[in-house]
Amino acid sequence: MRLTALLEPFQFDFMINALMVSAIVAIPCALLSVFLVLKGWALMGDAMSHAVFPGIVLAYIAGIPLAIGAFIAGLFCAVATGYLDDNSRIKRDTIMGIVFSGMFGAGLVLYVSIQSEVHLDHILFGDMLGVSISDILQTTLIALGIALIIGLKWKDFLLHALRSAPGKSQRPQYLPAALWSVVHDRVDHRRNR
């Protein structure tokens, strides 16, 4: 009888969809977490989830997929943080705090400036029980893309994570931005599903 009560929610399609998208998102998150912990970026996912907020709001205003806006905002955040880290005397964690908090603040200003029927909670936390088949397909494609990138560049990411000097690759200066962009994409899909 206890097993029946545990499986009872899965009689509904929305629960099955939520479980499927959670499992799909968990795989690239697990792959990425190894590099983040080794690099000392354990709170990167939380910070990046705030940084992509203005991109999500702008994508909503423009009527394009939210993932595209989040990707562009995350990429901008990674490039801006890297640029400031290379060209200032401020510590990296301080720069990250300034850029990520500033971008979240910009997202809030954008959200307040538009008249929308979408509640802020839905943008910030998503709706796991409202996941559709198209959301599952989009998440699967992005998860496969991330797994492919990690599979192709895992040695470079690992070397970058373990050493302060960049790994030996064709363009080692782009490895942190590549890792950050993959992280923000996972964060965006985890939150918006």
**Tens digits of per-residue pLDDT, 75-97?**
898 888 888 988 999 887 888 88
Mean pLDDT, the chain, rounded, equals: 82
- Which carries the bigger pLDDT value, residue 125 or residue 50? 50
- Whole-Å CA distances, 77 to 21, 55, 95, 118: 26, 10, 11, 25
Mean of the pLDDT values across residues 40-44?
74
Mean of the pLDDT values across residues 47-65?
88
So what's the pLDDT on residue 167?
44
Tell me how far apart the alpha carbons of residues 192 and 131 are, in angstroms, rounded to a whole number. Answer: 9
Q: pLDDT tens across 110-167, in order? A: 988 887 777 777 777 778 888 889 989 989 999 999 999 999 988 888 887 877 544 4
**Cα within 13 Å of Cα(10), Cβ side:** 8
Find tokens 């954008």 and name the residue: 110
Residue 178 has pLDDT above 50, yes or no: yes
Tokens encoding 3: 């097993």
So what's the pLDDT on residue 97?
86
Q: What percent of the chain has pLDDT over 90?
A: 25
- When pLDDT is cut at 50, 70 and 90, the band that residue 189 belongs to is low
Mean of the pLDDT values across residues 9-35?
90
pTM value is 0.71
